[in-house]
């Protein structure tokens, strides 16, 4: 049995260190923490649990689109040598597409390295004929794939509506980087669409409290990475649809006035004051197609579900 290789790439010299980035975000008005910090090994497991909730429609809707249109997607994509999965998580979505896309090599990219290592090892056992590589990087500032990925055209796979974590301006920059990274190949990307507020807010604030736990886990990360003294019981999880910005926002809201202290800094939060932890932008089909065109992708196609809740776009360089 060949074990998949996992390489982690040091952050570029100009990237802020996690403690510095977290402290700077906490000092902002309003305070904020980048969503990539939601994902340590526990955060990744909590996200997987979210995908099983009946209220969290994105995963099952996207899966149904893949199941219904996988053959058409494979025809649009053409032969795939290297499949690069951005924010691979459990790698399950890509694995479901292996039988139709038939890649000879699979590259799983994720910031949550420990979780990725286990997921990839399991997958390699299931698909011993596919050459697998794990890449532990933060691609939010710059998408730079290591030489080990190999030359030639690639299919970049970016499911789960993770593109919605970027603002539309940031998404444009990221998609331009994808356009370069496909090296003449193409991109398959999952996009969450605009829908009624009640559906959206329930998906990000489930009655079982799994999304709340996922969000609150960020406080544990602040404590570990920054030496912060945050107490989970001092905060509530808040998820709301900001219609003007077309985005779900997640926040951690202080239950009482409190002082957050960390190595080298502190921040007062009044009762009800929030730390902004995630955005998830919702697009129209036309709006996202225009963004792809602006990013340099000349040919695009999309597939959606009957309710038009979610879409999978294929974009060729």
Q: Which of 61, 124, 162, 177 binds ligand SAM (CB under 6 A)?
A: 162
Q: Which of 46, 61, 66, 87 binds ligand SAM (CB under 6 A)?
A: 87
CA atoms within 13 A on the CB side of 234: 18
164 binds ligand SAM (CB under 6 A): no
- Give the C-alpha separation, 236 to 238, whole Å: 6
Measured from the CB atom, is 269 or 311 closer to ligand SAM? Answer: 311
Report residue 162 as tokens.
């993770």
CB atoms within 10 A of CB 32: 19
- Give the C-alpha separation, 9 to 190, whole Å: 26
206 binds ligand SAM (CB under 6 A): no
Q: How far is the CB of 97 from ligand SAM (least distance, A)?
A: 12
159 binds ligand SAM (CB under 6 A): yes
Measured from the CB atom, is 109 or 269 closer to ligand SAM? Answer: 109
139 binds ligand SAM (CB under 6 A): yes
Q: How far is the CB of 65 from ligand SAM (least distance, A)?
A: 12
- Give the C-alpha separation, 292 to 275, whole Å: 31
Q: How far is the CB of 180 from ligand SAM (least distance, A)?
A: 17
What DSSP string describes 178-205?
HHHHTTTSEEEEEEEBP--HHHHHHHTS
DSSP state of 310: E
44 binds ligand SAM (CB under 6 A): yes
Measured from the CB atom, is 188 or 316 closer to ligand SAM? Answer: 188
Query: What would you report as the CA-atom Rg of the chain, rounded to the nearest whole angstrom?
Result: 19
Q: Which of 4, 32, 36, 275 binds ligand SAM (CB under 6 A)?
A: 36
160 binds ligand SAM (CB under 6 A): yes
DSSP state of 39: -
Q: Is 277 exposed, middle or buried (0-12, 13-18, 19+ CB in 10 A)?
A: buried
Measured from the CB atom, is 171 or 254 closer to ligand SAM? Answer: 171
DSSP state of 283: B
Q: What is each CA distance from 117 to 3, 49, 294, in whole angstroms?
A: 10, 19, 35
Q: Are the C-beta atoms of 314 and 187 separated by less than 8 Å?
A: yes
Number of residues that bind ligand SAM (CB under 6 A): 19
- Give the C-alpha separation, 118 to 153, whole Å: 27
88 binds ligand SAM (CB under 6 A): yes
Measured from the CB atom, is 119 or 260 closer to ligand SAM? Answer: 119
CB atoms within 10 A of CB 213: 16
The stretches of the chain forming alpha helices (DSSP H) are: 18-27, 41-51, 57-77, 92-101, 113-126, 168-181, 197-203, 210-226, 285-294
Report residue 147 as tokens.
């030489």
Q: How far is the CB of 112 from ligand SAM (least distance, A)?
A: 4
Question: Interacting stretch for ligand SAM, rule CB under 6 A, among 71-79, 85-93, 178-186, 237-245?
Answer: 85-93
Q: Which of 55, 114, 138, 170 binds ligand SAM (CB under 6 A)?
A: 138
Q: How far is the CB of 266 from ligand SAM (least distance, A)?
A: 27
Question: Interacting stretch for ligand SAM, rule CB under 6 A, among 20-28, 156-164, 176-184, 299-307?
Answer: 156-164
Binding mask 104-133 for ligand SAM (x = CB under 6 A): ------xxx---------------------
Residues forming the site for ligand SAM (CB under 6 A): 36, 39, 44, 47, 51, 59, 87-89, 93, 110-112, 138-140, 159-160, 162
């Amino acid at each position: 049995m060949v074990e998949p290789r996992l390489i982690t790439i040091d952050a570029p010299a100009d990237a802020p260190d996690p403690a510095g980035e977290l402290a700077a975000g906490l000092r902002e008005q309003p305070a904020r923490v980048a969503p990539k910090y939601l994902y340590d090994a526990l955060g990744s497991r909590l996200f997987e649990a979210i995908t099983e909730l009946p209220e969290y429609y994105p995963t099952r809707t996207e899966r149904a689109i893949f199941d219904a249109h996988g053959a058409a997607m494979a025809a649009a994509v053409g032969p795939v040598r290297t499949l690069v999965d951005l924010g691979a998580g459990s790698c399950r979505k890509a694995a479901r597409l292996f039988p139709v896309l038939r890649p000879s090599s699979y590259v799983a990219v994720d910031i949550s390295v420990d979780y990725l290592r286990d997921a990839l090892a399991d997958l390699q056992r299931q698909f011993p004929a596919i050459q697998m590589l794990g890449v532990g990087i933060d691609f939010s500032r710059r998408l730079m794939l290591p030489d080990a990925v190999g030359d030639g055209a690639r299919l970049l796979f970016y499911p789960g509506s993770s593109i919605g974590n970027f603002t539309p301006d940031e998404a444009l920059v990221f998609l331009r980087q994808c356009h370069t990274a496909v090296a003449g190949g193409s991109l398959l990307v999952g996009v969450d669409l605009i829908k009624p507020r009640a559906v959206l807010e329930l998906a990000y604030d489930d009655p079982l409290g799994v999304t709340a736990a996922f969000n609150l886990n960020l406080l544990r990360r602040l404590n570990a990475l920054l030496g912060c003294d945050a107490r989970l019981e001092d905060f509530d999880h808040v998820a709301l649809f900001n219609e003007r910005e077309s985005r779900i926002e997640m926040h951690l809201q202080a239950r009482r006035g409190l002082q957050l202290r960390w190595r080298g800094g502190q921040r007062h939060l009044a009762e009800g004051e929030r730390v902004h932890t995630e955005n998830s932008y919702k697009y129209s089909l036309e709006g996202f197609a225009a963004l792809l065109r602006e990013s340099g992708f000349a040919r695009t196609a999309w597939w959606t579900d009957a309710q038009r809740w979610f879409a999978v776009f294929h974009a060729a360089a």
